């Protein structure tokens, strides 16, 4: 099999990220994905990789094309990962000039739009799409319940261990970003969904993780597998496909609509600062409409 010039550079870049930068395997995959897309597009457009002739115009053109089909968050990740690649290429002498400054920034305005969440009816359809007569259905229902009720991230669901569930105290230990650990109350419906999976779904295996595969090889799920469960549930329910993170927004929205405060939302979602939680300040349009007062002197 012929190894392309792009794959040669990718192999060196992967080793650089792992061995010299100490990047985790999952992050390496993300950074390499952008690197492969950029280098492959360069190779196709120029009839060869020819990095020595790479210029700022080519870098900007790639970002503009990719950003048009990405969300703001994805575009920001794209430019960060592209800058890392260009820095590597310059350090390795592949390109004569540091082109990181040629990568355009992605503009965004905090609080400029409403947070997108599933409405109550769609959420109910999503949960009902799981056939709880089967092992897979019980597992998927428990995962969707955790995501939509407690606002856990996909990686936090995947990292959940059996010892993290304190049935006696009714608490759940969540292993979050930056090795942070928080305890959350275990609502009755979440506990029932977990118990259904553990008692009548989870295969007997040596894995320490709550959620596992149901067929060999048995073992824990990745965050990507958790996200895929959400996508499949959307397809079964006949809903537009959403990410696992959309269910985190849904959890926050439902808390607010039930009368919870922004402070309580921030505590459950484990935000580090109030500015992060503030994106939900205008999430409930019905509640906002209720507090709008007519302008004094306006015609009836």
Q: 66 to each of 32, 38, 79, how far by Cα in Å?
A: 16, 10, 10
- Is 16 considered catalytic here? no
Contacts of 28 (CB under 8 A, 6+ apart): 14, 17, 18
Catalytic residue among 76, 175, 245, 257: 245
- Is 177 considered catalytic here? yes
Catalytic residue among 141, 248, 249, 270: 248
- Is 153 considered catalytic here? yes
Nearest to 230 by CA among 127, 108, 107: 127
CB 6 within 8 A of CB 49: yes
Residue 296 neighbours by CB distance under 10 Å: 5
Catalytic residue among 21, 177, 183, 272: 177
Catalytic residue among 139, 153, 202, 270: 153
CB 214 within 8 A of CB 135: yes
The burial class, CB within 10 Å (0-12 / 13-18 / 19+), for 173 is: middle
Placement of tokens 């067929």 in the chain: 215
**From CA 206, how far away is CA 223, in angstroms rounded?**
20
Strand partners, 212: 220
CB 6 within 8 A of CB 43: yes
Which residues are tagged catalytic? 153, 177, 245, 248, 271, 280
């Amino acid at each position: 099999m012929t190894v392309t010039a792009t794959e040669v550079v990718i192999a060196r870049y992967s080793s650089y990220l792992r061995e010299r930068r100490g990047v985790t395997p999952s992050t390496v995959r993300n950074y390499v994905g952008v690197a492969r897309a950029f280098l492959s597009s360069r190779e196709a457009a120029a009839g060869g990789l020819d990095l020595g002739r790479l210029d700022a115009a080519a870098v900007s053109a790639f970002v503009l094309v990719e950003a048009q089909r990405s969300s703001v968050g994805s575009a920001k990740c794209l430019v960060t990962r592209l800058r890392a690649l260009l820095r590597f290429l310059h350090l390795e002498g592949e390109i004569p000039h540091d082109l990181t400054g040629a990568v355009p920034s992605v503009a965004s305005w905090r609080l400029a739009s409403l947070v997108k969440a599933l409405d109550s009816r769609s959420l109910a359809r999503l949960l009902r799409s799981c056939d709880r007569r089967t092992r897979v259905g019980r597992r998927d229902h428990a995962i969707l319940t955790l995501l939509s009720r407690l606002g856990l991230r996909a990686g936090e669901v995947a990292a959940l261990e059996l010892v993290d569930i304190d049935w006696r105290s009714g608490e759940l230990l969540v292993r979050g970003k930056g090795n942070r650990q928080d305890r959350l109350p275990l609502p009755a419906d979440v506990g029932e969904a977990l118990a259904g999976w553990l008692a009548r779904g989870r295969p007997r295996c040596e894995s320490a993780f709550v959620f596992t595969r149901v067929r060999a090889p048995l073992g824990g799920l990745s965050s990507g597998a958790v996200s895929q469960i959400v996508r499949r549930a959307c397809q079964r329910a006949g809903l537009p496909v959403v990410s696992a993170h959309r269910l985190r927004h849904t959890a926050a929205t439902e808390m607010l609509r039930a009368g919870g405060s922004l402070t309580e939302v921030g505590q459950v979602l484990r935000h580090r600062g109030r500015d992060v939680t503030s994106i939900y300040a205008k999430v409930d349009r019905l509640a906002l409409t209720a507090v709008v007062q007519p302008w004094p002197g306006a015609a009836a």
